[in-house]
Amino acid sequence: MKKIVAVLAAAGFVVGGAVLAPVVSAAPQAKPAPNQVAYDPAPIAWGTCASPGLARRGAQCGFLEVPLNYSKPQGTKIKIAVSRIAAKAPAEQYQGVMITNPGGPGGSGLTLSVLGEYVPNGAGEFYDWIGFDPRGVGSSQPALTCDGTYFAYNRPYYVPVTQKLEQTWLTRSKNYAKACDTAGGELLDNVKTTDTVNDVDVLRKALKQEKINYYGFSYGTYLGQVYATLYPERVRRMVLDGNVDARKVWYQANLDQDVAFDRNIKVYFDWIAKNDAVYHLGKKGRDVEALFYREQLRFISKPAGGIIGPDEWTDIFLQAGYYVFGWEDVANAFSAWVNGGDSAGLKALYDASNGQGPGTDNGFAMYLATQCTDVQWPTSWTRWQIDNWITHLRAPFETWGNAWFNAPCLNWGGKVGTPVKVDGSKAPPILLLNETLDAATPYEGSLELRSRFPKSVLVEGVGGTTHSGSLNGIACVDDKIADYLATGKLPARVAGRRSDAQCEPLPQPVPAGAAQRKASIAANDITRADLQKLIIGARG
């Protein structure tokens, strides 16, 4: 993600050949909007950020106090952790705040305020970039954690091929839900998407803005959809990358993901085969795939290094289905294990995305806390059994792993709500982004969102498999973002249910380049790769 600017059109200031739009100054509170939350927040007391990467950039951090329950605005308060990287342009060129969200739900977004530096052409410099940890997440208070041992090594095999395995996972899932019920208390009733949407609007008020700009990834696109539905008059510009299909929250969305991830892992195995001279794992994708499943079955009785069982093996490879950035690391670990019996790379990859110890399950706990209460999930295990076995027959890679990831929703303790009917008919022009083969948020979701937001424009990364990967150096995509943030300009909308502009996707990596890229990363910095890890968060 790169940079962009905006200045007074009357002054005729030009960036990259485009005259920039009129500026928007920080405004005092405007007249109340129809949906405005009846709560006036205290100012945020800004101070130094604990994150070295944020501190190095001169970011400010603080807490926004909000009601735990918006139906009782004078009742219990909680604190939302917020960061701000101030606009670098003169005051007369200011374009407002850009609130960001990395998704999840459950993803920590506090460091996402660095995103502005990745917008091309300096276009990010005329916004205050705002990162925040949603309620219950990360540095916000309280933060939900239920069982830090839940992702311990060598867990029972995901695929319930015996009644004992099935019952083991049902018991594990029920116990986790129970632990969260005990730990979360009243918080569990108040962490729906609508609660976070209200927090965003209170944040707008605390920042003394009449309108917000918003950049959301993955689940963050759903947060943006709901905000733009409830508060359309409060939206100035909005970029949504990797778009959730509002028709399918959340049970069907997960089943759709299973099929898409199975397709993408085959694409990945084909890439490994194409680079067999480097990895020596098979000259055809189907051979690499067969090797993957043979090793998985072997790990049931004999885990790699004594700790990497069949489930950990699946979880390690899952990131390759999300995006192209980690392809080399996973293939190197795969090759080191198969060709040299070295499990260190596998362990490092698993540990990097699955913490163990007190508090490390926060992202997972909050993923469930939101998804389990946004909408009623099927309450019959028979329904889950049938749907997941049918899906598994088509897509064995991730189906049962994903089923058990979500299974605590069967016994979740929080009060269930009703999803907002997403309607962008009153929203201003917004920019939608999606690669064609995105597995976490399948492309059909962007087409549906485009139809619900009649002023929106969709840019497609044709044939790409990366999830929410904008501002990663693809000029065709990133320059359109820059133009939109600078001037409000979007590509022309075309007729039909299709994308409006097509770009090349993020490219598959060339293995030889990995070492040079890693060598350039400074200690304690926040890189674009770090931001991408935030975006997949608790499985995106």
Kindly calculate the radius of gyration of the chain based on its CA atoms and give it in whole angstroms.
23
Please, are residues 321 and 165 in contact by the beta-carbon 8 Å criterion?
A: no
pLDDT at 165: 98
Q: Distance of CA 188 to CAs 177, 182, 486, Å?
A: 11, 10, 40
pLDDT at 35: 64
SS3 235: strand
Per-position DSSP letters for 279-324, written without gaps between them: H-S-SSHHHHHHHHHHHHHHHHHS-BTTTB-HHHHHHHHHHHHH-S
**CA quadruple 33, 34, 37, 38: dihedral positive or negative?**
positive
Amino acid code (one letter) for 413: G
**499 labelled catalytic:** no
Q: Which of 147, 311, 374, 438 is catalytic?
A: 438
pLDDT at 123: 97
pLDDT at 531: 87
**218 labelled catalytic:** yes
Q: Encode the chain (540 residues) as per-residue pLDDT tens digits.
A: 332 222 222 233 222 333 334 344 444 344 445 566 789 999 999 999 999 999 999 999 999 999 999 999 999 999 999 999 999 998 888 999 999 999 999 999 999 999 999 999 999 999 999 999 999 999 999 999 999 999 999 999 999 999 999 999 999 999 999 999 999 999 999 999 999 999 999 999 999 999 999 999 999 999 999 999 999 999 999 999 999 999 999 999 999 999 999 999 999 999 999 999 999 999 999 999 999 999 999 999 999 999 999 999 999 999 999 999 999 999 999 999 999 999 999 999 999 999 899 999 999 999 999 999 999 999 999 999 999 999 999 999 999 999 999 999 999 999 999 999 999 999 999 999 999 999 999 999 999 999 999 999 999 999 999 999 999 999 999 999 999 999 999 999 999 999 999 999 999 999 974 444 444 444 567 888 888 888 876 555
The distance of Cα 316 from the centroid of its chain, to the nearest Å, equals 18
Domains and CATH numbers, the chain: 45-144+191-249+419-537 (3.40.50.1820), 163-185+251-410 (no CATH)
Percent of the chain with pLDDT over 70: 90
Residue with tokens 């929106």: 456
Q: Is the peptide bond before 142 cis (omega within 30 degrees of 0)?
A: yes
pLDDT at 22: 39
pLDDT at 21: 42
Residue with tokens 């890189």: 527
**51 labelled catalytic:** no
Q: How many residues does the chain have?
A: 540
Q: Which of 245, 315, 467, 470 is catalytic?
A: 467
Q: How far apart are the first and last CA of the chain?
A: 18
pLDDT at 539: 59
Per-position DSSP letters for 489-524, written without gaps between them: --PPP-SSSS-SEEE--PPPP-GGGHHHHHHTPPTT
Per-position DSSP letters for 454-499, written without gaps between them: TT-EEEEETT---SS--SSS-HHHHHHHHHHHHH---PPP-SSSS-
SS3 304: strand
Q: Which of 113, 139, 218, 468 is catalytic?
A: 218
pTM of the model: 0.93
Per-position DSSP letters for 205-272, written without gaps between them: HHTT-SSEEEEEETHHHHHHHHHHHH-GGGEEEEEEES---GGGTTHHHHHHHHHHHHHHHHHHHHHH
pLDDT at 42: 97
